[in-house]
Amino acid sequence: MNTVLALEGLGVTYRRRAGLFGAATEVKALSDVSLHVEASECVGIIGESGCGKSTLAGVAAGLIDAGAGRVRIAGELMPRQSRSRPLAARRALQLVFQDPYGSLDPRQRIGAIIAEGLTIHAPAGDHHDQVLAVLAAVGLSGDFINRLPHQLSGGQRQRVALARALVVEPRVIILDEPTSALDLSVQAQILNLLLDLQAARGLGYLLISHDIDVIRHLCHRVIVMAAGRIVEAGPTADVLGNPQMPYTQRLIAAAPSIPGLVA
Amino acid sequence: MIRRYPPALVAGAAITVFMIVVSLAAPWLSPWPPNVPDVGAILEPPSWRHPAGTDALGRDILSRILWGGRASLGVAIGIVALSVGLGALLGAAVALAGGWIDTLVMRLVDIALSIPAIVIALALSAALGPSLGNLVLVLGLLGVPFNLRLFRSETLSLRERPFIAASRAMGAGFAALLGRHILPNLAPVIVTFASAALGSALVMASALSFVGLGAQPPTAEWGAMIFDGRTTIMYEWWCAVLPGLAVALSALGFILLGDGLRDWLDPRHEAR
């Protein structure tokens, strides 16, 4: 097995103070979360809003400090302080956000947005050819280099976000609701692109979504989260086809299903 | 698609460009030398020879207003460059750094803002010796805390945008985040705010020159000219009122320009 991302007993607690003199209350955003993602594997996470999915992505991506537990990227143990994470690990794990409008700097051209990772991780040399190659890999032509984000459609923007992640040749990508802001027909294109890229590059995906159809289409295994904990986990067919926990049953029953759209 | 410019932007830009061009062209536009007294033409009312009249030393008011624009507008631009420039840079850096640096600097800013700035400006200008350079330094630095706080809060909301998180996750360091993402995205706010701040800087600088802490005689400067003309304002009104109009018109231009830029650069106004 080739584990690209492993979370072991992860916990994050936020302390909130009600006003200046109020009592501090603790909110457990994550408690005792363990999961692993292998190369060429897609692991899905489903759960309601506020269940800790995004905190999980933040800790794994080195944006939020881990309060407890361990993060391993490609076998290497990460420091708990997110800012002391080594650059090589930041390169190995990439993040694609839900909102393709907000995740691209509105004042940078597409070429500069994609090349940013290269300027950080491989400062020497000309990045032009690599940017062109990765644009082609996500199905965009070379003239996109000089455009600005607001000149692109939502689907094109999400392809750019994907290209920015791919250009540094990561081992694992966290996809935080990568299609929920897109039209249905564009969603299917992006999902198929994700599958193609995974097959070609052996990427591990950690896919966060509340769209059961997307999970079913892409994921080998599924993890169900509620209130910062994992409540159910297993192969996709088992969890979605025969959910054991009442929470999972409600979640699946509540999802609107459009048969035949992604299958 | 044709983008309609807000009327305030057009008017403000027209006034501002006019005042700056006319001031820069003072050596060629002035009918008389600005600082040469003429005892044969003291306190003359506006006429064809002296379109804006003459002052108590017989100097041509129009020429002095044109030359005075260089001093007054130059000082205002210097003050704003210092206060908004430094304030924006420090405010963005402090907001991005966060933690104890942010807390410490903001407490210092609170202290600085609780001190009456005009009193400090008077004391410092007097202590450093009156000159236009010291005026820029004192008023520029006194404006830093206010701008620091303003641009800190702008940066705090910018910092939470997903593209900053994307850059941080990629491993971008402090300088790269600040230079590549934060400052370019602050630029429209900086330009807008600087333009509006020029108006108040101009008035403030003229006020300090009026009390003798800015331009020194015989340098032509609007505030100093108003001061020179104050004793005769009831009779020979042109000595004080016409430079005052130049201050008012320029300040109006800057403020309209700032308002117009704010409307024009704000994406929420684009739909109209």
Q: Is residue A176 part of a domain?
A: yes
Question: B13-32 burial, b if ≥16 CB within 10 A, otherwise e?
Answer: bebbeebbeebeebeeebeb
- Give SS3 for A78: coil
Q: Is residue A259 part of a domain?
A: no
Q: Which domains does chain B have, with CATH numbers?
A: 53-269 (1.10.3720.10)
Note whether B200 and B266 are within 8 A (CB): no
Query: Can you give the pLDDT at residue B164?
Result: 93
Residue B167 with chain A: CB contacts under 8 Å: 105, 116
- Mean residue pLDDT of chain B comes to 87
pLDDT > 70 fraction of chain A, expressed in percent and rounded: 95
Residue A57: give the domain boundaries.
3-254
Range scoring the smallest mean pLDDT among A33-37, A188-192, B72-76, B114-118:
B114-118
Mean pLDDT calculated for residue range A246-258? 78
Q: Which residue from B161, B162, B171 is facing A90, i.e. has the nearest CB?
A: B171
Q: Is residue A175 part of a domain?
A: yes
Query: Can you give the pLDDT at residue B3?
Result: 63
Mean pLDDT calculated for residue range A207-221? 90
Mean pLDDT calculated for residue range B60-80? 91
Query: Can you give the pLDDT at residue B1?
Result: 42
Give the Cβ contact number of residue A17 at 10 Å. Answer: 10
Dihedral angle sign, alpha carbons of residues A57, A62, A68, A73: positive
Which strands make up the sheet holding A3-17, listed edge to edge?
A: A24-38, A3-17, A68-73, A76-77
Q: Provide ipTM, 2 decimals.
A: 0.85
Q: Is residue A191 part of a domain?
A: yes
- Residues from B contacting A (CB-CB < 8 Å) are 161-163, 165-172, 176, 180-181, 184-185, 187
Using left for φ > 0, alpha for ψ between -120 and 50, and beta otherwise, residue A31 falls in: beta
Token code pair at residue A198: 């995974």
pLDDT band at B268 (very low <50, low <70, confident <90, very high): low
Q: Quick check: B243 pLDDT over 70?
A: yes
Q: Is residue A260 part of a domain?
A: no
Residue B185 with chain A: CB contacts under 8 Å: 105-107
Q: Is residue A172 part of a domain?
A: yes
Nearest to A34 by CA among A63, A71, A1, A62: A71
**Into how many domains does chain A fold?**
1
Residue B170 with chain A: CB contacts under 8 Å: 90, 94, 116-117, 120, 164, 168
Q: Which residue from A61, A119, A121 is facing B169, i.e. has the nearest CB?
A: A61
Q: Which residue from B167, B185, B187 is facing A116, i.e. has the nearest CB?
A: B167
3-state secondary structure A11-44: EEEEEEECCCCCCEEEEEEEEEEEEEEECCCEEE
Where residue A42 sits, what CATH number does that domain have?
3.40.50.300
Mean pLDDT calculated for residue range B198-211? 86
Mean pLDDT calculated for residue range A69-90? 90
Q: What is the pTM of this model?
A: 0.81
Q: Report strand pairing: A76-77 vs A42-46.
A: unpaired
pLDDT digits over A90-102, tens only?
Answer: 999 999 988 888 8
Mean pLDDT calculated for residue range A210-236? 90
Nearest CA distance, B166 vs chain A (angstrom): 7
Q: Quick check: A257 pLDDT over 70?
A: no
pLDDT digits over B126-174, tens only?
Answer: 888 888 888 899 889 999 999 999 999 999 999 988 999 999 999 888 9
For chain B, the 3-state helix, strand and coil shares in percent, each to the nearest 5, are: 75, 0, 25
Q: Is residue A262 part of a domain?
A: no
Task: Report the length, in residues, of chain B.
Answer: 272
CA B194 – CA B246 distance, rounded (Å): 20
Mean pLDDT calculated for residue range A109-136? 90
Q: Is residue A57 part of a domain?
A: yes
pLDDT digits over A123-177, tens only?
Answer: 887 888 999 999 999 999 999 999 999 889 989 999 999 999 999 999 999 999 8
Q: Quick check: B272 pLDDT over 80?
A: no
